[in-house]
């Protein structure tokens, strides 16, 4: 289908495209679509578009398809609304939702495993109480743990992908929002003075209407006066006739003729003046109406931008993940000594030997491994015995010593003076390694120094070795002092 | 005969007086018509002055509005251009993801 779409002539290309979009991950774009799409793009983007891959152009064509039905003046609204919906919903949101469903599925599986584990643990407990062997069940329990571990690993990967899609969706939404915000801001900035000027125009219109009405009244009054003059002229003409003057003689009377002429002239002048004023008023009215009409769409657009921005991506919440705690214990290695079966005397001897063996072992053990109680005591004694400056100096020394082998590590050296100044800690401030690492991370973030998880692990290792060495030295010093004190 | 002549003279005298009165009245009307003409001119002149002022204010506000509309159109175009830019970038990124 995809192959045939390429061979179909451009006129039918869009039809082929419409038939096949669901089946193909990347729809094919015909030349016609590309040409049409480019019409929807701003001129500044034409260059970038022409350099895009075929796949990219096809996606753009698909996205901009929806703009066909939108008139040119509302195209920006279309782009603010449709495009994010196309990109966000058709791609990221769908993918994020798919991952979320998968995660939920895995969670259900894990909960079933947990349930099985609990049931099995209860069974093991009962067997133990009845002194029945439970090793196979223990193995089954461990298998459940292994399966759970696999599921959790898989869930982690899915959630990472989900978070990735979720973030991409939000990044795009934020970019669009930023553009919408800028646009709304500029509109708000301009709409205020626009309303002021429209207000002025309205005032002008009202003043014009008032002037026009007043003029009308004034002209009317003057017209009445002229009509009155004409009436009086008529009366005088009648009087002339009554004293024996003929019509013709009256009409030829210079005063009558003069008055008639003036009256006609005045009427003409008033009509002309009225017409001129009316024309001017009409012209101004039109101009005011035109500006008012143009304002409407801009007001509407501002509201549309705000409404479009209110369309948010779907919220999909995934639980926050924490770091798994590292198992720090060790498997105790035992020699498993065997008792010899003999009389009580031999038993006692054996017991002594066994005891001495045990002591040796203990002795050995104490050399290689402390008991938990002793470890706690050590933690109390040595937990915060190192100072900030000791830790940081030893870290920097470690890097310096490895400079030849790992020259890039030099970037990871910490400026002690700067660290102390910014953290406002004295150099002899005592703290444990965990606390120091927290501070270092925050310091690096503040100073914009890259400090990855890998760096943290390395620092942790180096400083732990430093701590252990220092403890050993301190212990041996203590032992020497004790020995000297005894002698 | 003298009486008739006297009567005729008296009538002619009265006629002349009336014509004179009527002419005077006509002249007064003419004068008033001229005055009305001046008044109309003044009314017209004031009206046109007012119109000029209103026209000037309308022109000023209209120019401001044209400038504002032009700024808003430009803001839209710039926003559209920005949107196109990020859309094209996203599309290219999506295309590379799909490959």
What DSSP line would sit under A368-387, residue for residue?
H---HHHHHHHHHHHTT-SB
Radius of gyration of chain A (CA): 48
| Count of helices and strands (H, E) across chain B | 1, 0
pLDDT at A118: 93
Q: For the segment A339-351, what is each residue's pLDDT rounded down to a tens digit?
A: 766 554 444 444 4
Whether residue A198 and residue B61 make contact (CB cut-off 8 A), yes or no, is yes
Query: What is the rounded distance in angstroms from the CA atom of residue A63 to the CA atom of residue A67?
Result: 8
Tell me the nearest-neighbour CA distance from A162 into chain B, angstroms.
15
What is the residue whose two structure tokens read 């500044």? A44
Cα separation, A425 vs A444, whole angstroms: 16
Residue A280 CB neighbours (<10 A): 19
Contacts of A44 in chain B (CB under 8 A): 81, 84-85
Please indicate whether, in this complex, the C-beta atoms of B83 and A255 are within 8 angstroms of each other: no
**pLDDT confidence of residue A86:** 66
Helix (H) or strand (E) holding A343: none
Q: How far apart are CA B1 and CA A196, in angstroms?
A: 94
Give phi and psi for B19, each to the nearest 5. Answer: -60, -40
Query: Would you state the structure tokens that stand for residue B20, as one six-digit string?
Result: 């004179």
How far is Cα B18 from Cα B11, in angstroms, rounded to an integer? 11
Q: B58: closest CA among A190, A192, A207?
A: A207
CA atoms of A64 and A41, how far apart (whole Å):
9
B10 touches chain A (CB under 8 A): no
Cα–Cα distance measured from residue A112 to residue A319, given in angstroms and rounded to the nearest whole number: 19
For chain A, list residues with pLDDT below 70: 1-33, 83-84, 86-90, 313, 340-385, 405-406, 408, 487
Query: What are the tokens at A389?
Result: 């400056």
Do residue B36 and residue A277 have CB atoms under 8 angstroms apart? no
How close A176 comes to chain B (CA, Å)? 7
- Residues of chain A contacting residue B13, judged by C-beta atoms under 8 Å apart: none
Q: Which residues of A touch B27 (CB under 8 A)?
A: 255
The rounded distance, in Å, linking the Cα atoms of B92 and B96 is 6
Question: Which residue from A79, A193, A280 is facing B51, i.e. has the nearest CB?
Answer: A280
- CA–CA distance, A140 with A125 (Å, rounded to integer): 14
Under 8 Å between Cβ of A442 and A422: no
The better pLDDT of the pair A30, B97 is held by B97
The predicted pLDDT at position A15 comes to 40
How much is the pLDDT for B13?
Answer: 67
Q: What confidence score (pLDDT) does residue A349 get?
A: 43
Is A186 in Cβ contact with B72 (below 8 Å)?
A: yes
pLDDT digits (tens, 9 = 90+) for B3-58: 666 666 666 666 777 788 888 898 899 999 999 999 999 989 988 999 999 999 99
Within an 8 Å CB–CB cutoff, is residue B27 touching chain A?
yes
Each residue's pLDDT tens digit, B34-45: 999 999 999 899
Rounded to whole angstroms, how far apart are CA atoms B62 and B56?
10
For chain B, percent of residues with pLDDT exceeding 70: 84
Q: Closest chain B residue to A238 measured between Cα atoms?
A: B22
pLDDT of residue B9: 61
Q: Are A313 and A169 within 8 A, CB to CB?
A: yes
Percent of chain A past pLDDT 70, that is, above it, reads: 80
Judged by CB atoms closer than 8 Å, whether chains meet at A239 and B22 is answered as yes
- Chain A residues whose CB is inside 8 A of the B90 CB are 87, 172
pLDDT of residue B69: 93
- Of the partner residues B62, B72, B95, the one whose CB lies closest to the CB of residue A55: B95
Asked if the C-beta of B11 comes within 8 angstroms of chain A's C-beta atoms, the answer is no
Residue in chain B closest to A259 (alpha carbons) equals B30
A177 in Cβ contact with A309 (< 8 Å): yes
Query: For residue A103, which of A53, A177, A153, A30 has the smallest C-alpha distance?
Result: A153
For chain A, counts of helices (H) and of strands (E) = 16, 0
- Of the candidates B94, B13, B45, B86, the one whose C-alpha atom is nearest the C-alpha of residue A171 is B86
Q: Tell me what pLDDT residue A146 has.
A: 93
Residue-level pLDDT at B97: 74
Residue A13, pLDDT score: 38
In whole angstroms, give the CA distance from residue A148 to residue A144.
Answer: 6
Residue of A nearest to B72 (CA): A187
- Return the SS3 of A56: helix
Average confidence score pLDDT of chain B: 85
**B72 interfaces chain A, CB cutoff of 8 Å:** yes
Residue in chain A closest to B52 (alpha carbons) equals: A280
Q: Does B61 touch chain A (CB under 8 A)?
A: yes
CA distance A314 to A90: 12
Helix B2-98 to helix A75-84 angle (10° resolution) is 20
Please name the member of A75, A207, A255 whose beta carbon is closest to the beta carbon of B80. Answer: A75
ipTM > 0.85 (yes/no): no
Q: Which residues of A touch B65 (CB under 8 A)?
A: 194, 197-198, 201, 291, 294-295
Helix (H) or strand (E) holding A294: helix A254-309
Q: Tokens for A402, please give them.
A: 């490895």
Structural contact between residues A462 and A400, judged by C-beta atoms closer than 8 angstroms? no
pLDDT at B38: 92
Q: Which of A88, A200, A227 to mutate to test the interface with B (most CBs of B within 10 A)?
A: A200
For residue B11, the distance in angstroms to the closest alpha carbon of chain A comes to 10
* Chain A residues close to B50, C-beta within 8 Å: 207, 211
Q: Which residues on B lie below 8 Å from A277 (Cβ)?
A: 44, 47-48, 51
Q: What pLDDT sits at residue A366?
A: 39
CA distance A154 to A148: 10
In the three-class reduction of DSSP (H, G, I as helix; E, B as strand; rest coil), residue A430 is classed as strand
Cα separation, A67 vs A40, whole angstroms: 8
Supply A307's token pair.
């409404």
Indicate the residue of A218, A277, A288 with minimum beta-carbon distance to B51. A277
Judging contacts by C-beta atoms under 8 Å, the chain A residues touching residue B99 are: 26, 55
Q: What is the pTM of this model?
A: 0.54
Residues B91, A362: Cα–Cα separation, whole Å: 69
């Amino acid at each position: 289908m995809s192959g045939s779409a390429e061979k179909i002539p451009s006129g039918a290309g869009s039809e082929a495209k419409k038939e096949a979009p669901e089946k193909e991950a990347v729809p094919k774009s015909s030349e016609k679509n590309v040409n049409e799409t480019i019409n929807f793009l701003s001129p500044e983007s034409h260059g970038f578009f022409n350099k895009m891959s075929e796949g990219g152009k096809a996606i753009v064509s698909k996205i901009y398809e929806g703009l066909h039905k939108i008139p040119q003046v509302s195209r920006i609204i279309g782009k603010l609304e449709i495009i994010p919906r196309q990109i966000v919903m058709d791609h990221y949101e769908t993918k994020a939702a798919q991952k979320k469903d998968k995660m939920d599925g895995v969670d259900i599986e894990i909960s079933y495993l947990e349930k099985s584990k609990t049931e099995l643990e209860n069974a093991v407990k009962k067997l133990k109480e009845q002194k029945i062997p439970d090793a196979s069940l223990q193995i089954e329990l461990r298998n459940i743990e292994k399966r759970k571990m696999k599921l959790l690993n898989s869930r982690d990967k899915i959630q990472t992908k989900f978070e990735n899609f979720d973030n991409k969706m939000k990044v795009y939404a934020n970019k669009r929002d930023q553009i919408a915000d800028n646009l709304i801001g500029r509109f708000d900035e301009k709409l205020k003075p626009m309303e002021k000027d429209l207000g002025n125009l309205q005032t002008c219109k009202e003043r014009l209407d008032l002037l026009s009405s007043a003029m009308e009244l004034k002209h009317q009054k003057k017209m009445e006066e002229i009509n009155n003059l004409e009436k009086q002229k008529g009366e005088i003409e009648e009087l002339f006739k009554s004293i024996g003057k003929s019509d013709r003689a009256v009409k030829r009377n210079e005063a009558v003729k003069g008055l008639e002429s003036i009256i006609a002239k005045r009427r003409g002048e008033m009509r002309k003046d009225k017409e001129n004023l009316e024309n001017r008023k009409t012209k101004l009215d039109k101009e005011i109406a035109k500006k008012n009409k143009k304002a409407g769409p801009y007001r509407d657009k501002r509201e549309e931008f705000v409404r479009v921005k209110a369309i948010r991506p779907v919220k999909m919440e995934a639980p926050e993940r924490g770091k798994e705690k590292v198992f720090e214990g060790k498997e105790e290695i035992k020699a498993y000594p065997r008792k010899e079966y003999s009389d009580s005397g031999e038993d006692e001897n054996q017991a002594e030997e066994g005891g001495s063996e045990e002591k040796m072992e203990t002795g050995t053990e104490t050399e290689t491994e402390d008991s938990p109680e002793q470890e706690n005591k050590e933690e109390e004694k040595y937990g915060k015995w190192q100072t900030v400056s000791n830790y940081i100096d030893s870290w920097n020394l470690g890097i310096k010593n490895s400079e030849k082998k790992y020259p890039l590590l030099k970037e990871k050296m910490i400026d002690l003076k700067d660290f102390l100044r910014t953290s406002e800690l004295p150099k002899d401030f005592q703290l444990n390694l965990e606390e120091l690492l927290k501070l270092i991370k925050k310091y690096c973030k503040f100073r914009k120094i890259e400090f990855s998880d890998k760096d943290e692990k390395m620092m942790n290792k180096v400083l732990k070795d430093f701590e252990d060495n220092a403890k050993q030295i301190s212990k041996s010093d203590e032992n020497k002092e004790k020995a000297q004190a005894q002698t | 005969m003298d009486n008739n002549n006297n009567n005729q003279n008296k009538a002619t005298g009265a006629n002349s007086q009336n014509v004179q009165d009527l002419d005077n009245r006509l002249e007064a009307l003419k004068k008033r018509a001229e005055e009305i003409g001046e008044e109309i001119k003044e009314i017209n002149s004031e009206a046109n002055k007012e119109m000029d002022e209103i026209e000037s204010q309308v022109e000023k506000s209209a120019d401001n509005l044209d400038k504002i509309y032009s700024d808003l159109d430009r803001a839209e175009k710039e926003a559209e251009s920005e949107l196109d830019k990020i859309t094209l970038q996203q599309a290219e990124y999506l295309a590379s993801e799909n490959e």
